[in-house]
Amino acid sequence: MTEDAPKNTPREHRNRVLKGASIITGVNNSEISCTIRNMHHNGAELRVPVDARIPERFLLYVPVDGIGYRAVVRWRKSDRVGVQFEGTAPKPAWHYG
């Protein structure tokens, strides 16, 4: 790393996207609607309602991709949540999307 490089540069480039998604929790299969703002193969930045109670671990289901990502919260600031992916899972059978 050169001295001119910022100290807080992201490790991977995140592609800007605008995808609807659902945070699916383990509590009675409840879900919270969210928007994916940027994404790469290891994680994403989500926009969520400010008052939403987001669990530390959850399934992030992305209907347009037909994929569920097992996600872990790494940071939260206001309505933005950064998550790291730990793998994928099939679409929940009960989900309408």
pTM, two decimals, is: 0.78
Helix (H) / strand (E) containing 31: strand 31-40
- Residue range 46-67: mean pLDDT, rounded: 93
Q: Which residue has the higher pLDDT, 37 or 92?
A: 37
In this model, does residue 47 exceed pLDDT 50? yes
Helices (H), the chain: none
What pLDDT is stored for residue 66 in this prediction? 87
In this model, does residue 70 exceed pLDDT 90? yes
pLDDT band at 10 (very low <50, low <70, confident <90, very high): low
- Residue range 23-39: mean pLDDT, rounded: 87
